[in-house]
Structure 1
Amino acid sequence: MSKELVNALDALEVEKGVKKEVVIEALEAALVSAYKRNYDQAQNVEVDFDGKKGNMNVYAVKKVVEEVADPRLEVSLDEALQINRGYELGDEIKFSVTPKDFGRIAAQTAKQVIMQRVREAERETVYNKYSKYQDELITAEVERQDTRFVYLTLDGVEAAMAHNDQIPNETYRPQEKIKVYVTNVDDASKGPQVFVSRTAPGLLKRLFEQEVPEVYDGIVEIVSIAREAGDRSKVAVRSNEANIDPVGTTVGPRGQRVQDIVNELGGENMDIVQWDENPANYIANALNPADVLDVIFKEDEEKACTVIVPDDQLSLAIGKRGQNARLAARLTAYKIDIKPESEMENDDSAEVETEE
């Protein structure tokens, strides 16, 4: 058994990257507990494991005292001097107390410790690998799905995509490869859990970084994203170089760059909006494609405004089911009231609040 255990520890270090010394330290601690549990002992004991030969010995550790109060923990100076004339008060002496059948208990304990260390090593490997990918875009293969999750494979590791992270009306077929955004890598007690999304705004940002070199390089910056996944998104961009048009650069020649992203997301419409340091201009841009006549900020309410549009642009500004105004509000973080030019005082104006 001793030789087999040493070989197992060597193999564990090579195959799983678990240091032999780490396992031995854990094994010795586990054997101390096993000894006390199986032999009903409460004294101070140590277990010494020989990492080369595999031999295991149990020692009772006793302190040298003038007068013994607890023989399980102490030894008299007179008795200590009979063992070795060099002992002094306060020294600790190890007495071998290895039971004859301790090898059987040690073998069982060693197996449990090694299995635990293997699981921990595998957990750590998965966590370290995928925690680096948090907030990143990766390609995964659809494995299966149930009523709660779509399960995907990432290099042999299973990831879960919850229902609210799935694009509505999008079908996920086994063995299909899709791009997903890693939202969280949780080092849970049952093992690392990788969670991914197709609806997160971060997915859209990473897709633009892939398709638009200027975004990846930071020449064009994505300032804000408002998204209703699978239907429509608004993306606010600005340029960090005066001679670069952020909207035109992001859209690409003949709209090819943004069209590639639209195709990846199953036809999700994209509004690329120019960010402006002037809030009024930014809000007007965000309501594109509607024309805006004026933006009036409310003095009695923070980050709230009334937007005046031509009468024939009201429906366009609000959008189908209020979507255009709702996305503009999210994009700019302003509460937006939209009023037609002819009814600026109409209390029935459309009101859209920023949604959390």
Structure 2
Amino acid sequence: MASEMGEAIRQLMQEKGISEDSVKLTIENMLKAAYKRTYGTADNAVVVFEDDLSDVTIYSRKTVVDGVYDPIIEIELEEARQLDPECEEGDEIDIPEDPKTWGRSAVSTGKQTGHQGLNESFKDNLYNEYKDKIGEIIIGYYQREKNGNIYVDLGKVEGVLPAKFQSPREKYEKNERIKALIVDIKKTTSGIQIVLSRSDPEFVRSIVELEVPEVYDKTVEIYKIVRDAGYRTKIAVYTNREDVDPVGACVGLKGNRIQNVITELLGEKIDVLKYDSDPTVFIKNALSPAEVSKVVILDAEKKQALAIVPDTQFSLAIGKQGQNVRLANRLCDWTIDVKTEEQAATMDLSEFESRKAAINLFKDDDVQETINAIAELPGIDVRVADILKEAGIADVQQFVDAYEEDALKNIEGLTADDIEAVNKIINENVEFVEESEEPSQTEAPSEADAQENAGGDAEEEYFCPECGAKITLDMTHCPKCGVEFEFEEDEE
């Protein structure tokens, strides 16, 4: 009998994957529950296992007294000395119990406690096994459907693919293979349940990592993925290596890599595009497959931009029910308004295209380009730019001020080398220009001055010193911004 018990314990450990300590604890709780059912308490019950698990014994620990008041926890000195001649009053003595003498109700209670303990140990073991797999891909088989939720056989556990996490174009048959992303784990009365998703953008990321070795080994990194599950996904990628084409690596030779991803997503359209720290370039890329003629930044602080496209590309840029531009908005984290070239021609964009900046970046061809954001600097590390942005330092001037005040070293995730690298890029590429003194808001440029600057021959044009709108000499207020001004009379 003893050897049978040891074998049963080892078999339980092997089949259920339960540890030896968990099995011993379950058996101990089972015996103590039956003991309590018999005697009303288990405070004095002691369970002892053999070293090889071949046997287990439960004892009643009693106090030796002269005159028993509670026979459950006490024993007469004379009776105790029959078991141990050397015991004295006040000592404790362990008396073996025979569970076979206990009643049926005690045995039933012990069994129930044992089953509950094993189930809890099994659930805990499974939970610990799968809790670190959240965010990973798992493969199972269609089992049944209830209230729109699909239940998946994953072997030792059951998975559920809720209706809200399903792609609307996917349908399954009995025992059909399902690949999905683990997004959560729940304990149930029968074990644990794995919550799955096929609509999460991270599911696409995991599939791309499986198909594209360069993404898996971080040669090519995914900046962001946005998705309208079942219809279209946009993936922005980049690399720090000049000899690697990030988009080409993801698409593969003749498109075979991305085609495998599309097949797994049952035909969902996928746009792979290059991330760029310059928002005008990134927005242009994000609106693919549409061709964008020009991107105008309307408000950099509020992240509002205008994308101008050829008339024939308008519907493609917007997408069906606005899907393409909506995904581009989410990908770039900008509000993008799309206009055709014909529509843009009727708009006054001069104030946006010629707005003043405190910083000018000079390229090799000596053409000035307005730069404000750190993320727009050439060669900037995307990770560093994101950390600075999270810390509230998004533009170059803020960085320079913080650098001079030595306030950057306390930013979490930012090393001294990172700080010096950004400072070096700014020193090499950025020239700070002081604003020139402008005329008074209430005083317009004199006609004589204007004629003198132009040589006095050509017909002169005048502009508001505040907003730049065209004005004439007979005006006392700007027709656009309303600023009041006066013209000086010629002195002859």
Question: Which digits, 9 at most, give the CA deviation of each residue in 1:38-85, with x for residues without a partner?
Answer: 33x358411335546746444144388x99998876789999899765
**What does residue 174 of structure 1 align with?**
174
Structure 2, gaps ≥5 residues long: 350-492
* Bigger mean CA offset, 213-222 vs 187-196: 187-196
1:342 aligns with 2:345: yes
Distance 1:7 1:248, change over 3 A: closer
* Bigger mean CA offset, 169-178 vs 125-134: 125-134
Assess if the C-alpha contact under 8 Å between 1:43 and 1:73 holds in 2: no
Q: Report the Cα offset of residue 98 of structure 1.
A: 6.2
Q: Report the Cα offset of residue 275 of structure 1.
A: 0.5
* Bigger mean CA offset, 245-254 vs 335-344: 335-344
1:31 aligns with 2:34: no
Q: Report the Cα offset of residue 151 of structure 1.
A: 2.0
Separation in 2, partners of 1:234, 1:88: 82
Separation in 1, partners of 2:182, 2:71: 60
Separation in 2, partners of 1:306, 1:34: 74
Question: Which digits, 9 at most, give the CA deviation of each residue in 1:223-259, with x for residues without a partner?
Answer: 1111111111110000131111111221222222222
Distance 1:241 1:118, change over 3 A: same
- Written as runs of structure 1 = structure 2, the 5 A alignment for 1:141-152 is 141-152=141-152
Assess if the C-alpha contact under 8 Å between 2:37 and 2:109 holds in 1: no
- Written as runs of structure 1 = structure 2, the 5 A alignment for 1:249-268 is 249-268=249-268
The DSSP-based 3-state class of the residue aligned with 1:24 is helix
Separation in 2, partners of 1:277, 1:237: 12
* Bigger mean CA offset, 73-82 vs 173-182: 73-82
* Bigger mean CA offset, 99-108 vs 202-211: 99-108
Question: Which digits, 9 at most, give the CA deviation of each residue in 1:75-125, with x for residues without a partner?
Answer: 899998997656586x54445676872275664455334433443454345
Q: Report the Cα offset of residue 132 of structure 1.
A: 4.5
Distance 1:319 1:10, change over 3 A: closer
Question: Could you say what the CA RMSD is over the residues aligned between the two structures, in angstroms?
Answer: 3.7
Distance 1:53 1:105, change over 3 A: farther
Distance 1:334 1:70, change over 3 A: farther
Distance 1:264 1:86, change over 3 A: closer
Q: From the two aligned structures, give the one with the greater strand fraction.
A: 1
Assess if the C-alpha contact under 8 Å between 1:311 and 1:342 holds in 2: no
Q: Report the Cα offset of residue 300 of structure 1.
A: 5.8
Structure 1, gaps ≥5 residues long: 347-356
Q: Return the index of the structure with the highest Cα Rg.
A: 2
Assess if the C-alpha contact under 8 Å between 1:225 and 1:233 holds in 2: yes
Separation in 2, partners of 1:14, 1:259: 43
Question: Which digits, 9 at most, give the CA deviation of each residue in 1:132-168, with x for residues without a partner?
Answer: 5421223322222233212222235431111122211
Assess if the C-alpha contact under 8 Å between 1:126 and 1:192 holds in 2: yes
Separation in 2, partners of 1:101, 1:76: 22
Q: What amino acid is aligned across from residue 239 of structure 2 in structure 1?
A: S
* Bigger mean CA offset, 186-195 vs 265-274: 186-195
Assess if the C-alpha contact under 8 Å between 1:305 and 1:334 holds in 2: yes
Q: What amino acid is aligned across from residue 325 of structure 2 in structure 1?
A: A
The DSSP-based 3-state class of the residue aligned with 1:185 is strand
Separation in 1, partners of 2:29, 2:124: 21
Q: What amino acid is aligned across from residue 317 of structure 1 in structure 2?
A: A
1:287 aligns with 2:290: no
Q: What amino acid is aligned across from residue 294 of structure 1 in structure 2?
A: V
**What does residue 306 of structure 1 align with?**
305
Assess if the C-alpha contact under 8 Å between 1:32 and 1:45 holds in 2: no
**What does residue 197 of structure 2 align with?**
197
**What does residue 46 of structure 1 align with?**
45
Assess if the C-alpha contact under 8 Å between 2:17 and 2:125 holds in 1: no
In percent, how many aligned pairs have the same letter?
A: 36
Separation in 2, partners of 1:53, 1:194: 37
Separation in 1, partners of 2:31, 2:130: 34
Separation in 2, partners of 1:146, 1:156: 21
* Bigger mean CA offset, 155-164 vs 273-282: 155-164
Separation in 1, partners of 2:41, 2:34: 12
The DSSP-based 3-state class of the residue aligned with 1:230 is coil
Aligned residues: 341
- Written as runs of structure 1 = structure 2, the 5 A alignment for 1:49-198 is 49=48, 51=50, 54=55, 56-62=57-63, 87=88, 92-94=92-94, 101-102=101-102, 104=104, 107-155=107-155, 157-198=157-198
